[in-house]
């Protein structure tokens, strides 16, 4: 038998499976975000962090406030009070007021829309990115995953200030790890948990139907299991007459 087509297909599948995360990865090892998309409370806390810390620069223009209210089991008035600071209506999308041209001038780069960031980068990338901001020798912010990122560490008050510790590899100075030079308002564990909440929200943002899909999935599996039992009983009943 000629197995060539089969092995070619197998090779392609393997390539696509393993290459996909590689495309989205940056430099450095990724930390595991370990998000649980069914944890609605975590998504709610993440949404609050998002509008307080990210939404001044980044839009999430695929998301409407009323969809947020519905998916997160929140009262629409509560959403208007806690998550909406601009003069907008509940049915509008999460756009920001800053104009792209201004943003580009102020920051050097236009902050991208974050609706699909979790899809393009993956949860682990986002988690690692948000945890690895540090202050470099110039006193400015830098990021271990996205070198020379134009984004400041918006969480510095919560996280504190991290500084790099260098090591020499093959004659090059590289960052070995980051240390907390100045503690922030949250302990490292508390801060990791905040960032996990935020990334959980961003996962939800990337695919709002995922929460429902996962919940429905459980019921579908239960139904199938029950259905299998019933059909087995039915089969046994029919075959009793045949034997």
* Residue ranges binding ligand HEC (CB under 6 A): 53-54, 56-58, 107, 109, 111-112, 114, 117, 121, 126, 129-130, 149-152, 154, 198
Tokens of 56: 């001044």
In whole angstroms, the minimum distance from the beta carbon of 187 to ligand HEC comes to 18
Q: How far is CA 118 from CA 20, 50, 159, 173, 204, in A?
A: 14, 14, 22, 31, 8
Collapsing DSSP states into helix, strand and coil, what is residue 181? strand
| Residue nearer to ligand HEC on the CB measure, 7 or 105 | 105
105, burial (CB in 10 Å: exposed 0-12, middle 13-18, buried 19+) = exposed
Count of other CB atoms within 10 angstroms of residue 188: 14
* C-beta of 72 vs 126, nearer to ligand HEC: 126
For ligand HEC, the closer CB: 111 or 208 = 111
Residue whose CB is less far from ligand HEC, 76 or 154: 154
Q: How far is the C-alpha of 212 from the C-alpha of 37, rounded, in Å?
A: 10
DSSP per-residue codes, 50-93: HHHHTTTT--EEEEEHHHHHHHTT--HHHHHHHT--SS--TTSE
Task: Name which of 111 and 206 has its Cβ closer to ligand HEC.
Answer: 111
Shortest reach from residue 5's CB to ligand HEC, in Å: 37
Tell the smallest beta-carbon distance from residue 184 to ligand HEC (Å): 14
CB of residue 159 to ligand HEC, shortest distance in Å:
11
CB of 166 to ligand HEC, least distance (A): 22
Query: In angstroms, what is the minimal distance from the CB of 176 to ligand HEC?
Result: 23
Number of other residues whose CB lies within 10 A of the CB of residue 194: 19
Residue of minimal Cβ distance to ligand HEC: 54
Task: Give the residue with the Cβ less far from ligand HEC, 65 or 200.
Answer: 200
Looking at the DSSP assignment, which residues form a beta bridge with residue 172? 169
Distance between alpha carbon 180 and the CA centroid of its chain, in Å? 24
């Amino acid at each position: 038998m000629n197995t060539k087509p089969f092995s070619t297909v197998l090779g392609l599948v393997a390539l696509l499976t393993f290459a996909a995360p590689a495309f989205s990865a940056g430099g450095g090892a990724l930390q595991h975000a370990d998000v649980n998309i069914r944890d609605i409370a975590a998504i709610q806390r993440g949404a609050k962090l998002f509008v307080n810390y990210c939404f001044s620069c980044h839009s999430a223009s695929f998301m409407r406030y009323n969809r947020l209210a519905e998916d997160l089991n929140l009262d629409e008035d509560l959403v208007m009070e806690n998550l909406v600071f601009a003069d907008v209506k509940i049915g509008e999308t999460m756009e920001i007021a800053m104009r792209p041209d201004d943003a580009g001038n102020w920051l050097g780069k236009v902050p991208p829309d974050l609706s699909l960031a979790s899809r393009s980068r993956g949860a682990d990338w986002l988690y690692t990115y948000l945890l690895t901001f540090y202050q470099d020798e110039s006193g400015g912010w830098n990021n271990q995953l996205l070198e020379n990122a134009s984004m400041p560490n918006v969480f510095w008050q919560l996280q504190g200030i991290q500084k790099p510790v260098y090591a020499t590899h093959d004659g090059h100075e590289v960052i070995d790890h980051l240390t907390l030079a100045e503690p922030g308002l949250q302990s490292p564990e508390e801060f990791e948990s905040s960032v996990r909440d935020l990334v959980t929200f961003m996962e939800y943002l990337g695919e709002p139907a995922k929460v429902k899909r996962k919940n429905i999935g459980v019921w579908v599996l239960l139904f199938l299991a029950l259905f299998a039992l019933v059909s087995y009983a039915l089969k046994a009943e029919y075959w009793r007459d045949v034997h």
